[in-house]
């Protein structure tokens, strides 16, 4: 179910432009519009869920498999030699868009990016 004012739901519906890098029946992966590093990618469920806790377990497993595929693709594209995964859940934890999503941050030696 889509939320009419949710930016990610509007991207999923094709109402807003994005740089889509992968898609499955349940998820899309797009480039972050404000990337922290080259290749910064978001994995987004096509259905609207606010946090990880709202995603059904079977879909959570599928999300992990899809995220792994996208991370492998980023590594194969030489976007990084490693990667971080990040997921902010609710405002107090830094979630800005209230639609569950995972950040994949490709990393290169000496890139100076601090995560946790």
Rounded Cα gap, residues 33 and 35, in angstroms: 6
Own/partner pairs for 63-70, CB < 8 Å, 24+ apart?
Answer: 63/26, 63/27, 63/102, 66/22, 66/24, 66/26, 66/27, 66/29, 67/43, 67/102, 67/104, 69/22, 70/21, 70/22, 70/29, 70/41, 70/43, 70/104
Q: Which of 40, 99, 101, 103 is catalytic?
A: 101
Known catalytic residue at 101: yes
Catalytic residue positions, numbered: 101
């Amino acid at each position: 179910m889509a939320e009419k004012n949710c930016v990610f739901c509007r991207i999923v519906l094709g109402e807003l432009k994005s740089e889509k890098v992968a898609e499955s029946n349940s998820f899309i992966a797009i480039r972050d519009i404000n990337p922290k590093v080259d290749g910064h990618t978001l994995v987004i469920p096509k259905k609207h869920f606010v946090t990880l806790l709202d995603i059904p377990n079977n879909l959570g497993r599928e999300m992990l498999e899809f995220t792994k595929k996208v991370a492998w693709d980023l590594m194969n594209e030489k976007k990084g030699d490693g990667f971080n995964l990040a997921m902010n859940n609710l405002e107090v934890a830094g979630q800005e868009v209230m639609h569950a999503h995972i950040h994949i941050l490709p990393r290169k030696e000496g890139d100076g990016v601090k995560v946790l």
